[in-house]
Amino acid sequence: MALESVCSWRAPEGLRPRLPGAGDWALPGGRAPRALPQPQGPALAHGTTTLAFRFRHGVIAAADTRSSCGSYVACPASQKVIPVHRHLVGTTSGTSADCATWYRILQRELRLRALREGRLPSVAGAAKLLAAMLFRYRGLGLCVATALGGWDQAGPALFYVYSDGTLLAGDVFSAGSGSPYAYGVLDRGYRYDMTVQEAYCLARRAVAHAARRDAYSGGSVDLYHVKESGWERVSREDACALYAGPQEAGDPGEEAAAPTPEPALLSPPGPGAHGSNRRGAGALPGARKPERGWEERAVWGRHADRGPRE
Amino acid sequence: MAARYDRAITVFSPDGHLFQVEYAQEAVKKGSTAVGIRGTDIVVLGVEKKSVAKLQDERTVRKICALDDHVCMAFAGLTADARIVINRARVECQSHKLTVEDPVTVEYITRFIATLKQKYTQSNGRRPFGISALIVGFDDDGIPRLYQTDPSGTYHAWKANAIGRSAKTVREFLEKNYTEGTIATDSEAIKLAIRALLEVVQSGGKNIELAIIRRNQPLKMFSAKEIESQVVDIEREKEEAEKKKSKKTI
């Protein structure tokens, strides 16, 4: 197949792999689409939290590491941020098998183009290529929601590609079942002019919060940073520890506040335990009372100098 | 010997020639001269305009064509063949932008044209394209480039080159006169192109067509008036140089 596209060599009839030509559907021979059986077995779940954002110092990509199959955790330590080449990484969500396969195909195509042209395509070109390849299989059940982030001649670049062929350029993307939670944290704290440490902190916090509330996200938090010199895997930390532990430098409003304590198992939940105000209500005997409630921490964020809301 | 090996181009002669390709190169040598010059911030293409018949509309005869905003080419040889190659190249420039999100580099489109030409030297039932092309432009890194392709499908980068009738004379002139000084400024590079063409063109500026591309700017075709004024400048400089020389000898 590679040889065909590079020098127009055609495989002899019997050996040619049955890939769809332009505009064809890749169906088993002779079957109408409606006659295809629906996939049986455990529902393919798209449980994950992945995010990527671009800022002055590059592109950050972060993801959880839980691969779920319905309510069964298939792998608690999977790799959802995949490097494509030295200056490009992608976050994968959707069906793990689809993502893995299409990323390998993308790597192959980019490598071929680099050999032909003498330089790698831009991030826009790579995203366009992936979207075009996926579009040919539209309607056949592929599920790939990926954010491709990298550094090319124009600086940091980020694109979102979905398996129906959607291709979006943007600054912040999150995909997966935990993405609403992650977006909440990201939208609050994102600035193009963040420092590198602030960006790491924001990404970790977003995934950790999503992992806390989303059943299909969890495990660890992978963090990658694509700089001018290439991608770097910054850390892999346990999501629960990240959520419970002290916040890092760069977020002054968060430093002194402790995370929400676990709801008590022994004392009955009082009226104040509902919603997000947990101050004192139903706390375990040994638990530390937070200085400020959860809403105040959300308000504080970057406005630490304004003082508490009372 | 040649007669038996020049029927179908897919046949090599015993001493390794593809005669159809060489005959195509002869067809190129019959076409009107084209010269290309790569300056520091400018690329210049000049062609010799064949005199048109009285009733013919001059504007329909164009030997310098834009392939995209930042690339253009001039050719020497069979005009009809050139039209096909230029159309394919223009489509490829846009396809490349669609699939790769970047404009073509000059080297890419040259390689595409050269590959196209080579395909026609290796298919039966087809003859090679009877044109040589000079392709100029700027890449997005801002570096000017000039490439030449020939009917066999090879391509090379040049600092300055000429194709077509009297290409040898023009190339010798360029070898003598292409120095850092002569391409230092844009106007110097333009003058060099016109001087090179004036060596072989009869009746001066009327029969010259000139086009330039400057960095980040689209192709600019010179009008007849602009070319005339350049020619007048060149002739004035020549006279002054002559006067200085004759003063010295006295």
Quote the ipTM score.
0.72
What amino acid positions of A are annotated as catalytic residues?
A: 48
Residue B227, pLDDT > 80, answer yes
Residue A64 lies in a domain: yes
CA–CA separation, A95 and B228 (whole Å): 68
Predicted TM-score (pTM) of this structure: 0.73
Residue B141: give the domain boundaries. 22-45+56-240
Residue A3 within a domain: no
- Helix (H/G/I), strand (E/B), else coil: B113: helix
CA distance readout (Å), B90 to B68, B69, B73, B178: 7, 10, 11, 31
> Cα A279 vs. chain centroid, distance in angstroms?
33
Lowest mean pLDDT of A21-25, A287-291, B88-92, name the range: A287-291
Q: Amino acid letter at A67?
A: S
Identify the residue whose tokens are 């044209």.
B113
Q: A158 and A173 in contact (C-beta within 8 Å)?
A: yes
Decide if B143 touches A, using CB distance below 8 A. Answer: no
With CA atoms as reference, the chain B residue closest to A116 would be B108
Torsion B162-B166-B169-B173 (CA) sign: negative
Whether residue A86 lies inside any domain: the answer is yes
Q: The domain spanning residue A112 has which CATH number?
A: 3.60.20.10
Using one digit for the tens of pLDDT, what is the confidence trace for A3-38?
666 666 666 666 555 555 555 555 555 544 444 444
> How many other C-beta atoms are found inside a 10 Å radius of the C-beta of residue B200?
19
For range B232-249, the mean pLDDT: 88
Chain A to chain B Cβ contacts (< 8 Å):
23
Average pLDDT, chain B: 90
Is residue B144 over pLDDT 60? yes
- Please report whether residue B51 resides in a domain: no
- Enclosing H/E stretch for B220: strand B220-221
Which residue do the tokens 């800022």 mark?
A55
Residue B16 domain flag: no
Which residue of B100, B107, B140 is in closest CB contact with A121?
A: B100
Q: Give CA–CA dist A60/B219, Å, rounded.
A: 41
Count of domains observed in chain A:
1
Quote the pLDDT of residue A31: 47
Q: Looking at chain B, which residue has its C-alpha nearest residue A109?
A: B100
The pLDDT tens digits for A201-221 are: 999 999 999 999 999 999 999
Structure tokens at A134: 């996926």
Q: Identify the band that residue A292 occupies on the pLDDT scale cut at 50, 70 and 90.
A: very low
Task: Summarize the confidence of residues A75-98 as an average pLDDT.
Answer: 92
pLDDT (0 to 100) of residue A1: 53
Task: Name chain B contacts of A117, Cβ cutoff 8 Å.
Answer: 105, 108
Q: Which residue of A has its CA nearest to B109?
A: A117
State the average pLDDT over residues B23-41: 94
| Tokens encoding B37 | 């010059």
Q: What angle do CA A71, A76, A80 make, to 5 degrees?
A: 105
Q: Hey, how many other C-beta atoms are within 10 angstroms of the C-beta on B26?
A: 11
User: Are B108 and A117 within 8 A, CB to CB?
Assistant: yes
pLDDT (tens digit per residue) in B98-134: 888 889 999 999 999 999 999 999 887 888 999 999 9
Q: Report the pLDDT value the prediction gives residue A307, as an integer from 0 to 100.
A: 43
Secondary structure of chain A as H, E, C letters: CHHHHHHCCCCCHHHCCCCCCCCCCCCCCCCCHHHCCCCCCCCCCCCCCEEEEEECCEEEEEEECCEEECCEEEECCCCCEEEEECCEEEEEEECHHHHHHHHHHHHHHHHHHHHHHCCCCCHHHHHHHHHHHHHCCCCCCCCEEEEEEEEECCEEEEEEEECCCCEEECCEEEECCCHHHHHHHHHHHCCCCCCHHHHHHHHHHHHHHHHHHCCCCCCEEEEEEEECCEEEEEEEEEHHHHHHCCCCCCCCCCCCCCCCCCCCCCCCCCHHHCCCCCCCCCCCCCCCCCCCCHHHHHHHCCCHHHCCCC
Determine which of A115, A128, A130, A158 to mutate to test the interface with B (most B C-beta atoms within 10 Å).
A128
Residue A289 inside a domain? The answer is no
- In Å, how far from its chain's centre is CA A142? 17
CA B108 to CA A69: how far, in whole Å? Answer: 46
Which range marks the domain in which residue A201 is found?
50-244
pLDDT digits (tens, 9 = 90+) for A94-145: 888 899 999 999 999 999 999 988 888 999 999 999 999 999 998 888 899 9
Handedness of CA B95, B96, B99, B102 (dihedral sign): negative
Residue A161 lies in a domain: yes
The answer for residues whose C-beta is within 8 angstroms of residue B8's C-beta and 6 or more apart is: B20, B124
Cα torsion for B153, B156, B159, B165, to the nearest 10°?
-30
The percentage of residues in chain B with a pLDDT greater than 90, rounded to a whole number, is 68
d(CA A215, CA A221): 15
CB atoms A124 and B140 under 8 Å: no
Q: Using only C-alpha atoms, what is the Rg of chain A?
A: 23
**Residue B63 within a domain:** yes
pLDDT tens for A162-202 read 998 899 999 999 999 999 999 999 999 999 999 999 999 99
Selecting from B101, B105, B108 the residue whose C-beta is nearest the C-beta of A122 gives B101
Residue B227: which of B91, B46, B60 has the closest Cα?
B46
CA neighbours closer than 13 Å in the CB half-sphere of residue A189 = 28
Per residue in A240-288, pLDDT tens? 998 887 655 344 444 444 445 555 555 454 444 444 444 444 444 444 4
Judge whether A188 lies within some domain. yes
The residue-averaged pLDDT of B16-25 equals 90
Under the phi-then-psi rule, with left for phi > 0, alpha for psi from -120 to 50, and beta for the rest, what region is A30?
Answer: left
In a domain, B66, yes or no: yes
Judged against a pLDDT cut of 50, whether residue B170 lies above it is answered with yes
A-interface mutation test, from B92, B95, B97, B102, most A Cβ less than 10 A away: B102
Q: What are B59-78's pLDDT values in tens digits? A: 766 899 999 999 999 999 99
Q: Which residue of B has its CA nearest to A7?
A: B115
Which of A117, A118, A125 minimises the CB distance to B101?
A125
HSE of B45 in the Cβ direction (CA atoms, 13 Å)?
31
CB A70 within 8 A of CB A44: no
Residue A1 CA to residue B168 CA, distance in Å, equals: 45
Has residue A273 been placed in a domain?
Answer: no
Distance from CA of A153 to the nearest CA of B (A): 9
B148 occurs within a structural domain: yes
Chain A residues lying within 8 Å of B99, measured CB to CB:
125, 128-129, 132
CA–CA min distance B101, chain A (Å):
5
Asked if the C-beta of B108 comes within 8 angstroms of chain A's C-beta atoms, the answer is: yes
Number of domains in chain B: 1
Q: Which residues of B touch A112 (CB under 8 A)?
A: none
State residue B52's pLDDT score: 77
